[in-house]
């Protein structure tokens, strides 16, 4: 493409480098409502439809289900039930025009479409991302011996990556103590002692949950050995998270300690996306996305956030992701919001005479899919 063409970018190829599966369940109004917020069900008397995301779903997903734009939430839920979950998922996923999905299967994976099912419903392809903590938790559930934990974990991670042909790994350290962990690899004896205590403590009401800071570090340094891209949840998330401990700049010393051949992928980042962009600007191996931020804030604000992150982020370091979980609507809205805001931003800069049309088209392709293809080695 030698010139910038707004229309041709309406179908900009997208690699969604971080997402989860879509629920197989038939959802009623309350079920949809609860999946519209990281906080779950709204306070009594309120609805999550009265958020930027809720209004976007009513605006942009209603027509995909043959309703007029901005259908009432109850009408939307009724139409959804009428069509059935399979058809709704198929329609909304295809409406996202996403070419490839990199799927983190480590969170409530059993309730959700598998990567292959997701790809099939969407008419795209999928690859897997292995969640570091989930591998450790499976090992614990399988009855690992404390003394063998360090070796067994490294083996299990390697085996899982190999079995799933995973293209990257993911850490939820932000949720499990925070990102201000000691950047150094823990000593073998330390890991053994921590594993002993953790395994002795046993699972909680929701099963095994790896939250020991020494083990968190041990997992990360095992991941470093693989030299696959390591995704980090950073920035906002559900109420479990302590936002200040999810600031990506807390990873600075870890980033500096990791060899530059290991890509570090900062996910979401908001409201610390300018800080994340700085890290991407000064560290060769740091990349970032805005993840679920863009669908949560909606089309009226996504352009502003993309502009903020591109203040410092090199264009070769920004990727697309939806972080969509559960609701197929999130894939649809996310892709629409991302494409529209990116094209709007480029269009404005070309129109003002700042950038050439050729540069704008080239940068759009990098951000939409080229950077992901390069970093994850996708074909």
Q: Which residues bind a copy of itself (CB under 8 A)?
A: 37-39, 42-48, 50-52, 55-56, 59, 69-70, 236, 238-239, 242-244, 247, 249-250, 252-253, 256, 260, 270-271, 274-275, 278-279, 281-285, 296-301, 304-305, 307-308, 310-312, 314-317, 348-349, 352-356, 359, 363, 366, 374
- Comparison of 128 and 323: residue with beta carbon closer to a copy of itself: 323
The least distance separating a copy of itself from the CB of residue 207, rounded to whole angstroms, comes to: 21
Nearer to a copy of itself, 58 or 90 (CB): 58
User: Cis omega (within 30 of 0) on the bond before 271?
Assistant: yes
Residue 158 Cβ vs a copy of itself, minimum distance, rounded to whole Å: 26
Residue 73 CB, shortest distance to a copy of itself, in Å, is: 11
User: Of the two residues 143 and 239, which places its CB atom closer to a copy of itself in the complex?
Assistant: 239
Sequence-distant (≥ 6) Cβ neighbours of residue 33 within 8 angstroms = 41, 42, 47, 48, 49, 73
* 102 SS3 class: strand
| Least distance (Å) between residue 166 CB and a copy of itself | 23
Q: How far is the CB of 2 from a copy of itself (least distance, A)?
A: 13
Instruction: Give least dist CB 195 to a copy of itself, A.
Output: 28
Name which of 36 and 139 has its Cβ closer to a copy of itself. Answer: 36
Nearer to a copy of itself by C-beta: 143 or 353?
Answer: 353
Q: Which pairs with CB-CB distance under 8 Å and at least 24 residues apart come from 2-9?
A: 2/357, 2/358, 2/361, 3/357, 3/358, 3/361, 4/346, 4/347, 4/350, 4/356, 4/357, 4/358, 4/360, 4/361, 5/357, 5/361, 6/343, 6/347, 9/339, 9/342, 9/343, 9/346, 9/361, 9/364
Kindly state the tokens that stand for 187. Answer: 């000593």
Return the number of the residue (55 or 226) whose C-beta is nearest a copy of itself. Answer: 55
Burial of residue 109 (number of CB atoms within 10 Å: 0-12, 13-18, 19+): middle
């Amino acid at each position: 493409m030698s010139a910038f063409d707004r229309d041709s970018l309406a179908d900009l190829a997208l690699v969604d480098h971080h997402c989860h599966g879509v629920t197989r369940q038939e959802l009623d109004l309350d079920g949809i409502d609860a999946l519209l917020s990281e906080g779950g069900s709204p306070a009594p008397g309120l609805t999550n439809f009265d958020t930027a995301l809720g209004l976007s779903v009513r605006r942009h997903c209603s027509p995909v289900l043959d309703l007029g734009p901005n259908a009432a939430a109850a009408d939307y839920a009724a139409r959804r039930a009428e069509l059935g979950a399979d058809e709704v998922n198929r329609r909304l996923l295809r409406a996202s025009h996403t070419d490839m999905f990199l799927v983190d299967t480590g969170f409530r994976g059993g309730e959700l479409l598998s990567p292959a099912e997701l790809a099939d419903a969407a008419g795209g392809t999928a690859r897997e991302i292995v969640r570091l903590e989930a591998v450790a938790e499976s090992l614990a559930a399988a009855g690992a011996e404390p003394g063998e934990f360090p070796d067994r974990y490294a083996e299990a991670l390697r085996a899982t990556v190999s079995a799933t042909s995973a293209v990257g790994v993911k850490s939820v350290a932000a949720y499990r103590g925070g990102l201000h962990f000691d950047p150094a690899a823990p000593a073998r004896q330390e890991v053994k002692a921590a594993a002993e205590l953790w395994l002795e403590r046993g699972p909680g009401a929701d099963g095994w949950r790896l939250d020991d800071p020494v083990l968190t570090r041990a997992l990360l340094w095992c991941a470093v050995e693989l030299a696959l891209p390591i995704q980090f949840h950073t920035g906002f998330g559900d109420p479990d998270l302590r936002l200040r401990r999810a600031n990506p700049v807390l990873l600075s010393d870890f980033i500096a300690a990791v060899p530059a051949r290991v890509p570090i992928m900062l996910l979401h980042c908001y409201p610390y996306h300018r800080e994340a962009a700085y890290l991407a600007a000064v560290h060769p191996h740091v990349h970032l996305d805005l993840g679920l931020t863009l669908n949560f804030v909606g089309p009226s604000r996504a352009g502003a956030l993309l502009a903020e992150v591109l203040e410092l982020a090199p264009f070769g370091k920004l990727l697309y992701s939806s972080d969509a979980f559960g609701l197929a609507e999130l894939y649809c809205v996310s892709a629409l919001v991302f494409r529209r805001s990116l094209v709007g931003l480029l269009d404005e800069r070309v129109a003002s005479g700042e950038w050439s049309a050729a540069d704008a088209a080239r940068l759009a392709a990098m951000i939409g899919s080229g950077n992901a293809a390069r970093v994850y080695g996708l074909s």
